[in-house]
Structure 1
Amino acid sequence: MKHLFVLFLALVSLNCFSQTEELDNLAIQLAYESSESSKVAISIEIIKNLIALKDFDKALKHIKQSEKLSKKLNSDKKLAQLLYYKALILSLKDDYITSVNLLNKSKALSIKLNDSLFTAEINSKLGAIQIEHGDYKQGIINIKKGIIQLESKNDSPTLSEAYNTLASAYKNINQFENSQKFYLKNIEINKNLGNREAILQTHIDLAELYIEHKHYKEAVFNFENALTLLDTKNEEYKGRIQPQLGTAYINFKNLDLANRHLIEGLEINRRLKNTEGTIHSLNGLAELNRIKRRFKTAKKLALEAKTLGESINDKQKLLYSYRLLKDLDSLQGNFKQAYLWQSKYFTIKNRLDREKEKKEQLARTLDAITIENDDLKVSTLSKIKVSTVANTQANTPFKLAFYVLIIVFAIALLFLISISIKRNGLLKDIRRLETKNRDIELENKSILEQKEHLESINDIKDKLFSIVSHDLKDSLISTKEFIDLLKDGSISQDEFRSLLPELSDNANNASLLLFNLLNWSKSQMQTLVSNPSLFDIQEVFYEKIKLIDLKLQSKNIQLVDKTVKDVVYADRSMVEIIIQNLLANAVKFCKSGDIITLSNHISNGYALITVADSGIGITEENQRQLFSKNSISTIGTNNEKGTGLGLSICKDLVELNNGRIWVDSTINKGSSFYIELPKDKVKTPELV
């Protein structure tokens, strides 16, 4: 009857545990095993497999039955193992207190059996559980005990786990050197074991430690090593590595590599819906665009990162986003908003600094602790007990003195508490003053940046006036002289009419000069904003050809219009300024009989506009500085004057509309100016 009952249990086990072949085989062995000691051993193997499969309830049932048999057999070794596995399961079920108690009971049995290897394993697991629940002090002590024993027994797999847990614990309490030491030990031990996955994971953990402490060279080295070990299909690891590697390359000033890794990291993390990785990528790209002075794009990215950071309350990433937003608004003159970001930044920073201070205090406490083996500790405690019993009677006459000392100690303690309270009050006052000082520093920095910005604008103004004053003065004086001649009667009405074309040219030149000056100065002051829309580029050509018709006739220049209807996506008023400047330049540098040709067509999905002339051409030296702010005005074929600002304005306006402009010219053969503009709304290059 007894055998039938065991067989029934085995068949039930076989039905429940048919997930793996090994469990099936163990269940069959258990059904036909007659030795109770062997049954417990087989049950322990089944329990291990069930824990691996996370079938905790069935594992606990086996543990309960096996505990009864172990107590019946008086087998402390098997009971210690069962208590160990039960503790692991309860830890995974978040029953921390019971789990720790069971591990301590298991360790006591293991010490009694003098099983140092199993004691080491228990110490390591006990330390890991304690650290996981915030008890770093006792957790690190227990793991160190385990490591001492495991290193002496050369148990590599368990030692690897202990090294990794200890390195992570030291990382969390800001003990950089200890954390680095145990991560490096873990890499070495896993190289001997040939555990590629563990080496990969440790390289990433070590790289993140280096990033945290600003050792960017070492971080890049470890991240690159991790990528070489990585299966290309494993996007989860890539999503974790790429944003941090991109950030490290920013600190190396390698912006191209940083951009590549950050964009790839953003794409992967968005695809995986990994919020932390997405925030890291967005912050990195925002920092990159800030460095490249693409403030609008940088702020958009930083705001998105800030919103995601607030949704998961990630203080470290929020700190990064607030700092970026403060810098961006400060650089753009939004000092009020910058001050608000600064306040949020310091609110989080002060909180993190307090947490860091607690961790550093814990780290100092741990440094003062020496680790002893359990057997040595038990021996020491025994000696203390014997010594206490032997000296009890001898110490009786000194009881009165002892009580006096306690009273003195209590008075001293009250005095120290009073001092501590006063000290804490002073510290709070100091912190408030520090916060005010930081706010004042921010205001001073903002004022300095505003001063530098105003000085820059003033320099631009001085330069502009120095460039245009002469030409503008000549045009206005010439116009005034014509009017004075007519007023004084020095010339007849017929003579005045013959001079009207020249007077008109002077007025047009002054008008165009002021028009270019206004738009260029606005662009330099960062107030010119593109408002793109879809429109027909051919309509712009028709309007601008009418404005130069008289000039074409007076210089005997032929205009060939090859333009076709085509839609572009840009700010129409800006495109009109660009076309007007290019047509005016073409007329200016053509001689009698020359030809100006206008055309447009589609190229690589963009609208390509061409203004070509058969005029005097441009030297290679002048071509190199043609679009710069320092370009020099050149006299036209009929001694037309200019400021040299027109093409600089054109370049600024084209780039504001996500386009580009370039020239191809040969002396005495002519020049061709090309403009490439988008045909529809495009993404900014940083987000592609």
Structure 2
Amino acid sequence: MYHKQLVLLTALTFIFLSGFSQTREIDSLTIQLTFQDQDSLKVDTSIKLINALIENKEYVKAIQYLNKSEKLAKDLNYISGLASLNLFNAQIYLKNKDYKNVISSYNKSLHYYSKSNDSLGLANVYQKLGVLYLELGNYSKGLDLSISAIEILKKYNLKKQLGELYNKIAEAYFNTNEIEKSLLYNQKSLDISKELNNIDGIIFSTISIANIYSIKKEHRKSIEYYENALTFLKLSENENFRCEILPNIGREYLRFNEFTLASKYLIEAITLNKKQNNKKGIIISYTYLSELNLKLNKSRLASYQINEAYKLINQIDDDELKLETLRVLIKVHSANSDYKAAFNRQSEYYELKTRLDLEKDKNFFSNIPKEPSIEKPKIDDENVSESLQDENKTNLEIKKLKLFIYGLLALVFILLISLFFLTKSNKRKLKYISNFKSDNENAELKEKLNNLEDMNQVKNRLFSIVSHDLKDSISSIKSFIDLLNNKDISKSEFKQLLPELSENADNASTLLLNLLSWSKSQMDNLDPKAEIFDIKEVIREKLNLIKEKVAKKRIVVIDESVKEMVYADRNMIEIVIQNLLANAVKFSRVGDVITVTNRQKNDKSLICVADTGVGISEENQKKLFSNEGFTTRGTDQEKGTGLGLSICKQLVDLNNGKIWVESEPNLGSKFYIELPKKS
């Protein structure tokens, strides 16, 4: 009896000394645990205590009880207890971002729940592990695990957990650009929140759906959902939601040039976000207010507002918002004729956009520690001087360059031979059909003759266009060879010029190989070799080809293309995009803006190359796509073959697409291409 009283006194003293921050529950469980026998009931009590300690953020004590309880559970072979304890282990490892041990603990927990046939426990781990994989970027595995948990949660009618899981799945699909699936799961989450009368859940899902409709360019639906969210906000005290909604709904009204409503929401957004010290909300509000005032020709006010946004942009971690701010900043600088600033911001815009596009394509565990890489031993030969190594390296680069140029010339030679035999073959066919035609006026032969003449015409135009594009690259390479042969450049100058030369050579090589591939496939007919490819990749490649011309004219280029698969002959479409971009540059003045976009339109892909250049008269628009070779000089007196747009039309037509233009003199032009997304 005396012994038990002593133990009780000791336990009470421990509780008192451990601090007043502990809850009554922790106090009670600690006392209860002191008197329990070494059995499964003691493990269950310990599990409750560990959970309370973790909730109270007393992790050190939680770990002490975890270690003791896990040992006891193993001795008792208490499977259910081991499953729960490993879940707590994972929770503590997660606090320290020790992902390797987090996943190991979750897997152990899965093993024990499976062994005890505890489907609810399995669902709980599937959910937690799935969410972890999603947050770390492994969307494939995360979605598999999360979807596995859904049916079990439905079976037990665990709507709160199900709604939370739907939100995570929706977010994962959004991050992998599967917008329709993201919309579906956000809608499911919204339905559950309505059933549970979870106001904050309703607002969160409604905002997410509004954001998706905005991306889908269904702006009226987006406004409808934002307005719904504002209505539900009357029942919530969460001002953070209002901070997010107001600038976004202002942006949507701006899409329709409804300036009064847009201004109302954006001004209210600035006031509220400043009050809440929400820098992201302030930036969004200023950015779109600036765009609004730019449209109203209030350039000074637009400049002030976009500069206020730009000052704050580096204080938050949101690259997508920074990209949008830069887009508007470029427009404002251009409108104010500050072309140098516009050009500098444009470079910043492209660097950021390229990095973000690359990051979106990645799908791996960026946060999970990788196996340590083994460094290769460094060579340190003291007998070889640094200057001699540089000399050898330079000589090697020159040799490689010369070999590449010889290869390039060989490709040109092969191309000329291909052209010769192709033309000769077609001439023989024309002569034969013409002779036969004089003896027998046959309608079928007339059609074949016309088709063959058209084919020769198309091929000749195609070769003329691509050869014209090759001229600059080959001239640059020739000039560089002359400098090398005459030893007119130093080693340092060589190193400075090498990247530019390499780019020119790569461009020329790519064009030649495309042309050879084209001529080989067209020896007999003009049937396109359709395939599924990402139009964004083509746009990015072709924009890189015009960088120098754009810089020379100080033109602002905005690439708003998105990843989208189309079904067409890639070589043909590359030629079309290249010609449209070249024309946009040709007819743009200093400081003009070229914008490239693409979006889904029904089951088609709609690509647009727009410029704010000199524009095209209505009379000349009728001549653009004709076979007569209509051409005019560019803003820098650039010459052209006059064949580009006619061949573009024929190539687009061959791919079951459409091409058209909308233009006004002195306001610019928009060239549209519509292509199928599937066969």
2:41 corresponds to: 38
Contact in 2 for aligned 1:10/1:30 (Cα 8 Å): no
Aligned residue pairs: how many?
394
1:338 corresponds to: 342
- Superposition deviation, residue 447 in structure 1: 5.0
2:165 corresponds to: 162
Contact in 1 for aligned 2:207/2:245 (Cα 8 Å): yes
1:63 aligns with 2:66: yes
Contact in 2 for aligned 1:335/1:446 (Cα 8 Å): no
2:82 corresponds to: 79
**Change in 2 beyond 3 A, CA 1:323/1:33:** same
Find the aligned partners of 1:59 and 1:325 in 2 and give their Cα distance: 52
Unmatched tracts of structure 2, length 5 or more: 366-505, 511-536, 557-584, 594-610, 616-679
Find the aligned partners of 1:446 and 1:270 in 2 and give their Cα distance: 40
- Superposition deviation, residue 59 in structure 1: 2.4
**Change in 2 beyond 3 A, CA 1:104/1:278:** same
1:177 aligns with 2:289: no
Match of 1:143 among 142, 146, 152: 146
Contact in 2 for aligned 1:331/1:449 (Cα 8 Å): no
Match of 2:230 among 222, 227, 230: 227
Letter in 2 for 1:302: I
1:319 aligns with 2:323: yes
Match of 1:12 among 2, 14, 17: 14
Contact in 1 for aligned 2:123/2:149 (Cα 8 Å): yes
Letter in 2 for 1:264: E
1:98 aligns with 2:119: no
1:191 aligns with 2:191: no
Unmatched tracts of structure 1, length 5 or more: 363-421, 456-688
1:272 aligns with 2:384: no
1:354 aligns with 2:382: no
2:128 corresponds to: 125
Match of 1:261 among 232, 240, 265: 265
Match of 2:245 among 213, 237, 241: 241
Find the aligned partners of 2:211 and 2:157 in 1 and give their Cα distance: 29
1:433 corresponds to: 545
- Superposition deviation, residue 83 in structure 1: 0.4
Query: What CA deviation, in whole Å up to 9, does each residue of 1:222-267 have, x standing for no partner?
Result: 3223222325653322222222222122123332222222122222
Find the aligned partners of 1:308 and 1:290 in 2 and give their Cα distance: 20
Letter in 1 for 2:347: S
Match of 2:206 among 203, 206, 209: 203
2:636 corresponds to: none
Find the aligned partners of 1:10 and 1:97 in 2 and give their Cα distance: 39
**Change in 2 beyond 3 A, CA 1:141/1:316:** same
1:576 corresponds to: none
1:653 corresponds to: none
Find the aligned partners of 1:288 and 1:224 in 2 and give their Cα distance: 20
Cα RMSD for the two superposed structures: 3.4
1:610 corresponds to: none
Contact in 1 for aligned 2:588/2:614 (Cα 8 Å): no
Find the aligned partners of 1:167 and 1:438 in 2 and give their Cα distance: 40
Query: What CA deviation, in whole Å up to 9, does each residue of 1:550-603 have, x standing for no partner?
Result: xxxxxxxxxxxxxxxxxxxxxxxxxxxxxxxxxxxxxxxxxxxxxxxxxxxxxx
Letter in 2 for 1:432: N
Find the aligned partners of 1:277 and 1:193 in 2 and give their Cα distance: 30
TM-score (structure 2 length as normaliser): 0.52
| Residue aligned with 1:253, SS | coil
Query: What CA deviation, in whole Å up to 9, does each residue of 1:577-636 have, x standing for no partner?
Result: xxxxxxxxxxxxxxxxxxxxxxxxxxxxxxxxxxxxxxxxxxxxxxxxxxxxxxxxxxxx
Contact in 2 for aligned 1:303/1:321 (Cα 8 Å): no
| Residue aligned with 2:200, SS | helix
**Change in 2 beyond 3 A, CA 1:453/1:41:** closer
**Change in 2 beyond 3 A, CA 1:192/1:34:** farther
**Change in 2 beyond 3 A, CA 1:280/1:35:** same
Letter in 2 for 1:275: K
Matches within 5 A, 1:195-594: 195-230=198-233, 233-312=237-316, 314-358=318-362, 430=542, 432-433=544-545, 435=547, 442=556, 444-446=587-589
**Change in 2 beyond 3 A, CA 1:429/1:208:** closer
Contact in 1 for aligned 2:73/2:81 (Cα 8 Å): yes
- Superposition deviation, residue 98 in structure 1: 0.5
- Superposition deviation, residue 297 in structure 1: 0.9
**Change in 2 beyond 3 A, CA 1:43/1:213:** farther
Letter in 2 for 1:305: A
- Superposition deviation, residue 111 in structure 1: 1.0
**Change in 2 beyond 3 A, CA 1:5/1:256:** farther
Letter in 2 for 1:12: F
**Change in 2 beyond 3 A, CA 1:452/1:189:** closer
Contact in 1 for aligned 2:199/2:236 (Cα 8 Å): no
Contact in 2 for aligned 1:10/1:31 (Cα 8 Å): no
Find the aligned partners of 2:23 and 2:334 in 1 and give their Cα distance: 63
Contact in 2 for aligned 1:100/1:126 (Cα 8 Å): yes
**Change in 2 beyond 3 A, CA 1:438/1:86:** farther
Contact in 1 for aligned 2:200/2:236 (Cα 8 Å): no
- Superposition deviation, residue 39 in structure 1: 2.5
Find the aligned partners of 1:328 and 1:90 in 2 and give their Cα distance: 49
| Residue aligned with 1:333, SS | coil
Contact in 1 for aligned 2:213/2:219 (Cα 8 Å): yes
Larger radius of gyration: 1
Contact in 2 for aligned 1:239/1:268 (Cα 8 Å): yes
Find the aligned partners of 1:279 and 1:247 in 2 and give their Cα distance: 12
Deviates more, 1:311-320 or 1:116-125: 311-320
Contact in 2 for aligned 1:283/1:321 (Cα 8 Å): yes
- Superposition deviation, residue 345 in structure 1: 2.0
Letter in 2 for 1:283: T
- Superposition deviation, residue 55 in structure 1: 3.0
| Residue aligned with 2:230, SS | helix
Matches within 5 A, 1:658-673: none
Contact in 1 for aligned 2:589/2:613 (Cα 8 Å): no
